């Protein structure tokens, strides 16, 4: 028996990735747009609070269990910035190019260019679930000053994984899914939901 689940996102890539991972344990994943669910506000300063708000919002409007993620890049020398503001680091409208320029400029005076991608996933059985299932993933790297690679999106061309000698944008989709913060979080979530 399968359980319908709403993904608090309209991202086709996430829908495919989450759907493939959750199908074997009995979940049929649907994007929130299928139910005309508008995007939730993300007013919080932590990834987990934003993901929880998005999951509760989607569940409340659909009556279904819901899954949400919140993720971003955190630079150690900047106290974790851009963090939850990663998508809009350089302001509105969202721009990967401007976000990357700002991050590189902000890191310029610092010797420490280390950073990490962080992802938190929150699953709620219903909108008022008192025990949401939470899983997280972290992927360490270094921010470099020039873009490398054609793949990925966001900060990927500037996020170097030292152990591989490649930026995330130089990895195949399979490599990225296996190693990434989101992949780690998703595998941890699947284990908890089993």
CA distance 31 to 35: 8
> In the block, which residue shows the tokens 């919080």?
44
65: helix, coil or strand? coil
Q: Which two tokens stand for residue 129?
A: 């679930």
CA dist., res. 73 & res. 85, Å (int): 9
**Residues in Cβ contact with 194 at an 8 Å cutoff, skipping those fewer than 6 apart:** 25
- Among candidate residues 69, 70, 112, 156, the one labeled active-site is 70
**In 3D, which of 120, 160, 143, 167 has the Cα closest to residue 8?**
120
70 is an active site residue: yes
Active site members: 70
């Amino acid at each position: 028996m399968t359980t319908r689940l709403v993904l608090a996102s309209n991202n086709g890539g996430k829908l495919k990735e989450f759907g493939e991972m959750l199908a074997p344990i009995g979940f049929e994943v649907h994007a929130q747009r299928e139910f005309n669910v508008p995007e939730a506000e993300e007013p919080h300063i932590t990834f987990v609070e934003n993901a929880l708000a998005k999951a509760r919002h989607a569940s409340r409007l659909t009556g279904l269990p819901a899954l949400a993620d919140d993720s971003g890049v955190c630079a150690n020398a900047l106290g974790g910035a851009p963090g939850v503001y990663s998508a809009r680091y350089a302001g509105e409208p969202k721009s990967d190019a401007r976000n990357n320029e700002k991050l590189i400029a902000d890191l310029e005076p610092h010797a420490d260019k280390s950073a990490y991608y962080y992802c938190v996933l929150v699953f709620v059985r219903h909108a008022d679930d008192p025990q949401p299932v939470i899983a997280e993933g972290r992927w360490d790297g270094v921010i470099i000053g020039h873009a490398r690679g054609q793949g990925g999106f966001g900060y990927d061309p500037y996020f170097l994984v030292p152990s591989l000698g490649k930026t995330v944008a130089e990895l195949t989709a399979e490599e990225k899914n296996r190693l990434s913060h989101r992949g780690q979080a998703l595998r941890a979530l699947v284990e908890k939901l089993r």
